[in-house]
Structure 1
């Protein structure tokens, strides 16, 4: 989307907010688009598997499940009972995936579900050792890499973010340890990611709701690791460093939230409109808090996914924003669990629709860093075993609950 002059802000945000078309733009700025961001450092040698979940974590999951320990055993059983884990699962690839705002063709749902199914079978294979699951993951990935050519219409960037993140996780696990998936089939899958997904998830889209760009960056950094592309990896890190501080507020930011990076929204009134009418800002508040907690959950999950993948590659993005992420987790967990919203917050009404989105961040901040996040821990326990949102979050109780294993 092209940069729009400020005079068109109301016209842009009106339909965008109603339709849910939202995202942000990546720049080299640390918040305003003009500040210099810390240098992005891609590894000289990528670690595999290392997209969202690492080899040590997968080994820990296997030990927990074999020992019948909780919550991992219940999480594994729930995953195995889902339709995504069925060995007779049939993929439905499409040449063109056309997704309009809050609508689209059947291919939109099929693509997201097939990508989650591939990731599910990759995890099933990793835990159970049954090669049939690896073969099914390969079947699904091969079907799409032979078929899909393009994503079109308004939600192309978001669609490729959701499905692309799952594709990268599935491919990473399978390719790292399943010798039957090699050669031309893998190269075709990599070509698919480069041509049908990366252009969309690396697009510059300023002034949209931040959950878009965070999801796009989640997919981009995952693909970067699988493709061993240092340039894409470093661009994803720069976008994370610019977008996260503009999405989750801390009082140290000043009286107003940081503007969306690279965009046109920067006055108090414009920011209030962008933050869904909110004019009082407190530590942990999110740009979409007063929209609904579902989109906040997407953003918390995507933020953690990006940082977790970077951490597995030797770059600690968590530490850079630990205070901000922790504040956002605790703020929203408290209200998701039922605390009464004060009048200053969204007019006293919040939409408690957060999904299974906190396990990854909780595991690192509490398990690795020793931070105390009591509300977040309570929420995670209440949601276990966390399943999938059918978009891009899947089985994170299994992979990340109390799993602070080193990279």
Structure 2
């Protein structure tokens, strides 16, 4: 198995590093937009209320579409609330926010024992992705989290989350992408190189099987575990789309919302990988690590996919007949800020449709699943 970490992990090192956190703090405190408005928007959210109680469950049971919902919404939103509190702590240096984040961590880590039912892996990925961002910030910027409680939180990751996530999924691609996002973050938090490498290996197999490039051939690539052995099976898995263009995803013709989840996780994982010393954005990165030894080309895939979907998401440009039979489910969601920052702000690519969509949606808020306040964290955040 390839190694994706050289030496010790960098901390804080999940999605945001110390320089980026300082960039956010400085711009909000200087009263500059869009960061000031984005921070105000986050703090006006019910998730940022200091009197909001944690509601942990022993066993979280989530079926399809969260039916049943036994702790599903509560877990996701408590995790996002802890992330809001961690960002508020960084920006204000008010320990009340850090302590509130810790109250969520402790409530769940001393209670949660399992995830069950059909959506358990996805639920674990969504919640886990938010937990890791928040906990990494608090652990490495605040000295008020008791060591015993930190260990308990680590144990929750090791015993409850990682076992249900690490083997991935053969469901629609957004599942496996957010599952590997969560495992990657947990691996950083618990300083486990083996778990990190397993997550990254599976992630790099999934990205080229999720976003199509014409260089892949006549049909999209597949992960080894998906058993898509015939063209008919591939086309069915790609929502019966038969015309493939650069940037199309496996879920484009399902709807743009689920596509947005997948694109968001790809950007999130790539950001954490960059912080850990593995820049996946150049076209020559991760060569030979895709399905059947193909090149991953993560940066090119994500950049073209964001621009393709942004072109049609606003509704000004109608969907052509070849795309999903001319009928698309718009609603990409607050998912473009990170990719736009990467490719336009840092790498100088011209992305006019992504620019228009990103700026029209500011300040990007939360989808109450695993996305949170990315205008605040990544608008023009060019600090490397």
Q: After TM superposition, is the score higher than 0.5? A: yes
CA contact (8 A) 1:43 1:230 kept: no
Q: What residue number does 2:295 align with? A: none
Structure 1: gaps (5+ residues) = 1-27, 29-38
- Could you give the per-residue CA deviations for residues 322-374 of structure 1, whole angstroms, max 9, x where no partner exists? 11111101100001122111111101010101110011121112222222212
State the secondary structure of the residue aligned to 1:301. helix
Alignment of 1:118-267 (within 5 A): 118-206=82-170, 208-267=171-230
CA contact (8 A) 2:23 2:381 kept: yes
Whole-angstrom CA distance in 2 between matches of 1:204 and 1:122: 28
- Could you give the per-residue CA deviations for residues 93-140 of structure 1, whole angstroms, max 9, x where no partner exists? 000001111112240100000000011100011111111000000001
State the secondary structure of the residue aligned to 1:318. coil
**Of 320-329 and 219-228, the range deviating more from structure 2:** 320-329
Residue 282 (1) aligns with residue 259 (2): no
The alpha-carbon deviation at position 282 of structure 1 amounts to: 0.6
Q: What residue number does 1:363 align with? A: 341
- Could you give the per-residue CA deviations for residues 226-263 of structure 1, whole angstroms, max 9, x where no partner exists? 11110111112111210000000000000000023322
The alpha-carbon deviation at position 203 of structure 1 amounts to: 2.2
- Could you give the per-residue CA deviations for residues 372-394 of structure 1, whole angstroms, max 9, x where no partner exists? 21211111101100000000110
TM-score relative to the length of structure 2: 0.94
Among residues 351, 354, 375, which one is paired with 2:353 in the alignment?
375
Structure 2: gaps (5+ residues) = 286-297
Among residues 327, 334, 340, which one is paired with 2:311 in the alignment?
334
Whole-angstrom CA distance in 2 between matches of 1:112 and 1:257: 32
The alpha-carbon deviation at position 205 of structure 1 amounts to: 2.6
Residue 58 (1) aligns with residue 21 (2): yes
Residue 324 (1) aligns with residue 301 (2): yes
TM-score relative to the length of structure 1: 0.89
Distance 1:292 1:93, change over 3 A: same
Whole-angstrom CA distance in 2 between matches of 1:296 and 1:260: 18
State the secondary structure of the residue aligned to 2:226. coil
Residue 402 (1) aligns with residue 384 (2): no
Structure with more relative contact order (C-alpha pairs < 8 Å, separation 6 or more): 1
